[in-house]
Structure 1
Amino acid sequence: MNLQDDFIRLVNDNRGILYKICRMYGDTDPDRQDLFQEIVIQLWRSYPSFRGESKFSTWLYRIALNTAISDLRKQRRHITTVDPDNLPTQLQDIQYNTEKEEQLQSLYAAINRLTEVEKALTMLYLEDKSYAEMEDILGLPQNNLRVKMNRIKEKLRKMTKEAVYGVGNA
């Protein structure tokens, strides 16, 4: 199997991760599509240097989250993509299920009010990643991650109560 075929297989096997990151950090379908393309470009550029010292999914999370967060920090909503030479074209665009989108809308609305790092930590937590894996992906000490996660949970509880009962009636 050549480098490009291996890359396509691994990315397609981990599409769920990319879907969640794009959903978390993109406000509209076009934003999500653009972010997906930008992440794939960054993954492809970095793939030759992937040494396999961590799981591919851990490496993919790291690249994808860094791409999404750095884009937000630049305060740009329109992502300009540059097609590098030989970018694999066999990757399919993300298809969104509108029914599932509606079910997740309230959760994402609360999560969307979190900071970029809190969003990333929440997503990894919801993916049942261990704190050791989160440390590898985010580069933050496990104790710090545990404290942050407890604070995030409390923050989300309060936001959920406000959404259900209205501000001040909880």
Structure 2
Amino acid sequence: MSSDFYHSSIVPYAAIIVKICRAYTNSQEDFEDYYQEVCLQIWRSREGFKEQCAWTTWIYRISLNVCLTLLKKKKNNEPIHFTSDVLPDSVSVTNNAFENETLNQLYTAIKHLSEVDRAVILLYLEEKPQQEIAEILGTNPNNIGVRVKRIKERLKKIIDEKFN
């Protein structure tokens, strides 16, 4: 991966990647592996980006797809093989992903949701419009609002039970 591509097309969107990877991992080590794999897949798929959507939408789609694929492989107890490529500055982006206790509580609650509901709430927390959330997830925008309301209710219940 060229350093120019990484710094111009991935680093400005690292927060998106970090949030999604954090929602689908349980350890710093897994998080770093997922983050690296997402960045690699963004680089590999860059030629497939046809500007039919915003670059951020593309980043979300790839990040979610990679995390869900890796999660499924992990559930099936298949070994996951990551490339040995080291991304420049990736450690500085990922080092503090598990340090904030309040954020850890939120992510713990989010992990009790289904994989799709995790994606919906992450996009909602990013203040994405319902239309864009639907576009990223490949679903109908009409049900996003209802789904977000139900997810928020479930998260409140989970947080109240676990942390209060």
TM class, shorter-length: 0.7 to 0.9
Q: Does 1:120 align with 2:119?
A: yes
Structure 2 partner of 1:55: 54
SS of alignment partner, residue 100 of structure 2: helix
CA 1:98–1:56 in 2, change beyond 3 Å: closer, same or farther?
closer
SS of alignment partner, residue 14 of structure 1: helix
- On the 8 A contact 1:8/1:91 being kept in 2, the answer is no
| Range 114-123 or range 5-14, more displaced | 5-14
SS of alignment partner, residue 90 of structure 2: coil
- On the 8 A contact 2:38/2:66 being kept in 1, the answer is yes
SS of alignment partner, residue 52 of structure 1: coil
Structure 2 partner of 1:136: 135
SS of alignment partner, residue 81 of structure 2: coil
Structure 1 partner of 2:82: 81
- On the 8 A contact 2:42/2:62 being kept in 1, the answer is yes
- On the 8 A contact 2:28/2:98 being kept in 1, the answer is no
- CA–CA distance in structure 1, aligned partners of residues 132 and 147 of structure 2: 15
- On the 8 A contact 1:61/1:137 being kept in 2, the answer is yes
- On the 8 A contact 1:7/1:47 being kept in 2, the answer is no
CA 1:103–1:51 in 2, change beyond 3 Å: closer, same or farther?
same
- On the 8 A contact 2:130/2:144 being kept in 1, the answer is yes
Residues 112-131 of structure 1, C-alpha deviation per residue, up to 9 Å, x if partnerless? 11111011111000000001
- On the 8 A contact 2:3/2:88 being kept in 1, the answer is no
Structure 2 partner of 1:30: 29
- Which amino acid letter does the alignment assign opposite residue 59 of structure 2? L
- CA–CA distance in structure 2, aligned partners of residues 98 and 139 of structure 1: 28
Structure 1 partner of 2:14: 15
| Range 36-45 or range 126-135, more displaced | 36-45
Tell me the percent identity.
35
Structure 2 partner of 1:168: none
**TM-score normalised by L of structure 2:** 0.86
- CA–CA distance in structure 2, aligned partners of residues 102 and 136 of structure 1: 32
- CA–CA distance in structure 1, aligned partners of residues 108 and 152 of structure 2: 14
Question: Which runs of 5 or more structure 2 residues have no equivalent in the other structure?
Answer: none
**TM-score normalised by L of structure 1:** 0.83
SS of alignment partner, residue 42 of structure 1: helix
- Which amino acid letter does the alignment assign opposite residue 82 of structure 1? T
Coordinate RMSD, CA, aligned: 2.3
- CA–CA distance in structure 2, aligned partners of residues 99 and 38 of structure 1: 19
- On the 8 A contact 1:8/1:88 being kept in 2, the answer is no
Question: Which runs of 5 or more structure 1 residues have no equivalent in the other structure?
Answer: 166-170
- Larger Rg, first or second structure (1 or 2): 1
